[in-house]
Amino acid sequence: MLKVSALLCVCAAAWCSQTLAAAAVVAAAGGRSDGGNFLDEKQWLTTISQYDKEVGQWNKFRDEVEDDYFRTWSPGKPFDHVTPVTLGRASPILQRIIPDLGTRSPGQPQFTKCRSPELETFSCYWTVGNYQDLKTPGSVQVFYARRIAHEWTQEWKECPDYVTAGENSCYFNSSYTSIWIPYCIKLTTHGDLLDQKCFTVDEIVQPDPPIGLNWTLLNISLTGIHGDIQVRWQPPPSADIRKGWIALEYEVQFKEVNETKWKVTGPLWSTSVPLYSLRLEKEYEVRVRSRQRNLEKYSDFSDVLYITFPQMNAVTCEEDFRFPWFLIIIFGIFGVAVMLFVVIFSKQQRIKMLILPPVPVPKIKGIDPDLLKEGKLEEVNTILGVHDNYKPDLYNDDSWVEFIELDIDDADEKSEGSDTDRLLSDAHEKSLNILGAKDDDSGRTSCYDPDILDTDFHTSDMCNGTSEFAQPQQLKEEADLLCLDQKNLKNSSYGASLGSLHPCVTLTAEDKPQPLLSDETESTHQPASTPISNPASLANIDFYAQVSDITPAGSVVLSPGQKIKAGIAQCNSQPQPEVAAPCQENHSMNSAYFCESDAKKCIAVAPHSEVTSCVKPSFNQEDIYITTESLTTTARMETAELAPDAEMPVPDYTTVHTVQSPRGLILNATALRLPDKKKFLSSCGYVSTDQLNKIMQ
């Protein structure tokens, strides 16, 4: 009895609970159907928003790394928040399934993803969570509803395809897919709502991965270490890119095989990309993924492409090109050795001179050093007498001044009979010969070593010439070192010294009156004698200039002439008859030496000679030898300058460059500072021809 009654009670209770549960379910369902009138738009949307809020499951659709494009449908209030109250009274079964709809825990059955790969179809996936009994087919249903043209479909339709997309999926083919239409799907089991989701298809696009990855080698670096490749792929075949229905962009990732971090390139719109500077001995792997442009959801990665380069021969590495220093050093040493041998053993004096220029030995020609040692002064002195370079430094300008003797009368005598005549005589050949003679030491200063080259010979000629003329206008005996020495040595009178000076004077006399070059100057030579005699008082004084210095080359530097000023004063006072004459006449007559260019200049600027000639006669009278300054001053005279710089020290003599004709000498002009044409270094009294040309021009 008791057993039966107990059994009856249990059965009744079970039945009651079942009915109650059924009623609850019906009530809940009925409540849902009453509340969820799909025709009522506002309520539908409210329902959705409520549902969205409290269901935390939308987070599931969010990618861990990227933003969720389902953010639109972020969790709102769950639709079922009404139902828990109901379900609280519902069967424990339901409570077990949906214990607390406030949150969606991972173990709950819910939609995991909805995805459209090509904007033409879509599919939704769910998980049953911990409730394995829901895995049996048919236990779970998916319903969907979509809103077309302001109207919601009246009922929920069941998923058309549970199979195509795999397990726990619902696939909507193109006929069921409308792109820009809101959809809502729900997951139910036997009418019980498990999950619900709303979206539009254009928001859930996630393309398929690209296919057909391959690579080609673009080029290899010269070193053979690095190379460039081009990676190509095909867009996913499902995407209709050709017609433009969907536009994709790609992201390429690559890395070395044993690395952990991928290098990312993208997003790209093209289906190929170059990868530069990959090391050829290493292996790489590449993968590509795609996404629709302007969306954020990337596809899965494509299959990984492994890149292995064909083994290159390591010998091709050319980067060890070293500059051939070794070869260069060897050749350099060889060349130097050859040169040395040539130099040392060559008989050619010229080459020897070039490579090993002779160091001037302190040597006096003709003097045996032994004489000096032995102290035979007389012999030494006699020998020294023939050399003019013995006492170059003994006298400075000041000392010269001491020796100034104005001996006008004597000058007249001598000018008439002796020096001047001889100077103006036609003993050209003799002087020429003397000048031409190279090795004749007699009566001639040899201020050069016979070994010196021809250029030096010319220098020595100049030296000779100037040294011969190195007689101060009043200090002839001092100016001429040769003669002076003789005088000092012999204490001779002026006349005696003059006599002894004959060699020099002869030379000077012979050399001076020879005009340079031109035949015209020769022609004017004869009448030049007369003007010379006129200012006889000054002639002798002007005939010589004092030596101020001896250049290392052996040529004599003359002190500035002081007669120019007087001559210029003369010019202003006395118009010389020679004014009308061309300047070259004056030059040629009174000055034995003038530069070729000056001569040319004089010839060329004959019309200007009136101005110039004013100064020139005086100049010529005073200074037999044209100095560089005087030349330039004459040049400057052409520009209507009548008063040259009185302060300027003007060398009176120029060295003889060459002997051109029996009556011509070309004077050298030393280097001058071209910008300062009027001023010359007092120590440098020689102007080279070219520079003088420039000065004159």
Partner 1 sequence: MNSQGSDRKGTLLLLVMSNLLFCQNVHPLPICHNGNCQMTLQELFDRVIMLSHYVYMMSADMFIEFEKRYAQDHEFIAKAINDCPTSSLATPEDKEEAQQVPPEVLLNLILSLVHSWNGPLFQLVTEVDGIHEASDAIISRAKEIGEQNKRLLEGIEKILSQAYPEAKGNEIYSVWSQFPSLQGIDEESRDLALYNKIRCLRRDSHKVDNYLKLLRCRIVHNNNC
Give, as ranges, the residues between 294 and 333 that touch partner 1 (CB under 8 A).
294-296
Q: Which of 617, 625, 546 is nearest to 586 (CA)?
A: 617
Q: Which two tokens stand for residue 110?
A: 């819910």
CA terminus-to-terminus distance, the chain: 158
Q: How far is the CB of 289 from partner 1 (least distance, A)?
A: 19
Under rule CB under 8 A, residue 73 binds partner 1: yes
- Determine which helix (DSSP H) or strand (DSSP E) holds 233, and give its type and residue range: strand 226-234
Nearer to partner 1, 93 or 179 (CB): 179
Between residues 202 and 520, which has the closer beta carbon with respect to partner 1?
202
Only one of the segments 70-78, 164-172, 358-366, 621-629 lies at the binding site for partner 1 (rule: CB under 8 A); that segment is: 70-78
The structure tokens listed for 624 are 């037999």
* Residue among 137, 180, 375, 491 that touches partner 1 (CB under 8 A): 180
242 or 322: CB nearest partner 1: 242
Q: In sequence order, what are the beta bridge partners of 205? A: 116
Using the rule CB under 8 A, give the single segment among 79-87, 178-186, 561-569, 574-582 that binds partner 1: 178-186
Cβ proximity to partner 1, 82 vs 517, nearer residue: 82
Tokens in use for 60? 């599931």
Q: Which of 14, 22, 181, 339 binds partner 1 (CB under 8 A)?
A: 181
Query: C-beta of 72: minimal distance to partner 1 in Å?
Result: 6
Q: Going residue by residue from 218 to 247, which x/- string records binding to partner 1, judged by CB under 8 A?
A: ----------------------x-xxxx-x
What are the start-end ranges of the E strands in 540-655?
547-550, 556-558
| Binding status of residue 37 toward partner 1 by CB under 8 A | no
What are the DSSP calls for 2-51, one per residue?
A: HHHHHHHHHHHHHHHHHHHHHHHHHHHHHHHHHH--TT-HHHHHHHHHHH
Binds partner 1 by CB under 8 A, chosen from 24, 28, 38, 58 = 58
| Contact call for residue 64 and partner 1 (CB under 8 A) | no
Q: Which of 546, 257, 516 lies closest to 399 in space, CA to CA?
A: 546
Contact map string, positions 245 to 264, toward partner 1, x by CB under 8 A: x-x-----------------
Q: What angle do CA 142, 144, 146 make, to 5 degrees?
A: 170
Among 69-77, 209-217, 506-514, 586-594, the segment contacting partner 1 (CB under 8 A): 69-77
Could you tell me the two tokens for 491? 């204490």
Q: For residue 418, which of 516, 530, 524, 494 has the smallest C-alpha distance?
A: 494
How far apart (Å, rounded) are the C-alpha atoms in residues 546 and 470?
6
Q: Where are the beta strands (DSSP E) in 116-220?
A: 122-127, 141-148, 151-152, 157-158, 169-172, 182-189, 192-200, 211-220
Q: Are 606 and 520 in contact (CB under 8 A)?
A: no
Distance between CA 68 and CA 635 in Å, rounded? 99
User: Applying CB under 8 A, which part among 51-59, 101-109, 189-197, 326-334 lies near partner 1?
Assistant: 51-59
Q: How far apart are CA 688 and CA 674, in angstroms?
A: 12
* Shortest distance (Å) from residue 150 CB to partner 1: 6
Residue of 174, 221, 308, 348 that binds partner 1 (CB under 8 A): 174
Q: Which range touches partner 1 (CB under 8 A), out of 41-49, 475-483, 513-521, 660-668? A: 41-49
Name which of 294 and 455 has its Cβ closer to partner 1: 294
Site for partner 1 in 635-694 (CB under 8 A): none
Q: Backbone dihedral region of 252: left (phi > 0), alpha (psi from -120 to 50 degrees) or beta?
A: beta
Give CA separation, 285 vs 236, 276, 282, 549, in Å. 20, 14, 10, 91
With respect to partner 1, which residue has the nearer C-beta, 200 or 492? Answer: 200
* 195 contributes a contact to partner 1 by CB under 8 A: no
Closest CA to 664 of 607, 587, 609: 587
Tell me which of 17, 18, 33, 72 binds partner 1, using CB under 8 A.
72
Quote the CA–CA distance of 29 and 52 in Å, as a whole number: 19
Nearer to partner 1, 180 or 325 (CB): 180
Which of residues 180 and 321 has its CB atom nearest to partner 1 in the complex?
Answer: 180
Stretch that binds partner 1, among 65-73, 103-111, 438-446, 550-558 (CB under 8 A): 65-73
Of 647, 651, 648, 656, nearest in space to 683 by CA: 651
Q: What type of residue is 533?
A: S
- At its nearest, how many Å lie between partner 1 and the CB of residue 74? 3
In the bound state with partner 1, the residue whose beta carbon lies nearer, of 54 and 477, is 54
Q: How far is Cα 579 from Cα 654, in angstroms, rounded to an integer? A: 24
Number of residues in contact with partner 1 under rule CB under 8 A: 40
CB within 8 Å of 273: residues ≥ 6 apart:
230, 231, 250, 252, 265
Among 37, 74, 272, 488, binds partner 1 (CB under 8 A): 74
Interface with partner 1, residue 61, by CB under 8 A: no
- Asked if residue 80 binds partner 1 (CB under 8 A), the reply is no
Q: Which of the 8 DSSP states describes residue 580?
A: T
Q: Interaction with partner 1 in 343-402: which residues (CB under 8 A)?
A: none
- C-alpha span between 67 and 61 (Å, rounded): 10
Beta carbon nearer to partner 1, 63 or 456: 63
Preceding omega of 472 cis (within 30 degrees of 0): no
Nearer to partner 1, 205 or 568 (CB): 205
293 interacts with partner 1 by CB under 8 A:
yes
Question: How near is the Cβ of 85 to partner 1 at its closest, in Å?
Answer: 21
* Residue of the chain from 27, 29, 53, 443 that contacts partner 1 (CB under 8 A): 53
Three-state secondary structure call for residue 458: helix
Select 59 or 396, whichever has its Cβ closest to partner 1: 59
Angle at 506 between CA 627 and CA 669, to 5 degrees: 20
Q: Which residues 95-154 are close enough to bind partner 1 by CB under 8 A?
A: 119-120, 148-150
Find the binder of partner 1 among 37, 49, 272, 492 (CB under 8 A). 49
d(CA 47, CA 616): 127
Token couple for 632:
């330039």
39 part of the interface to partner 1, by CB under 8 A:
no
- H/E element, 372: helix 369-374
Closest distance of CB 271 from partner 1, Å: 16
Q: Please identify, using beta-carbon distances, which residue of 78 and 651 lies nearer to partner 1.
A: 78
Which residues of this chain interact with partner 1, rule CB under 8 A? 41, 45, 48-50, 52-53, 58, 67, 71-77, 119-120, 148-150, 174, 177-182, 200, 202, 240, 242-245, 247, 293-296
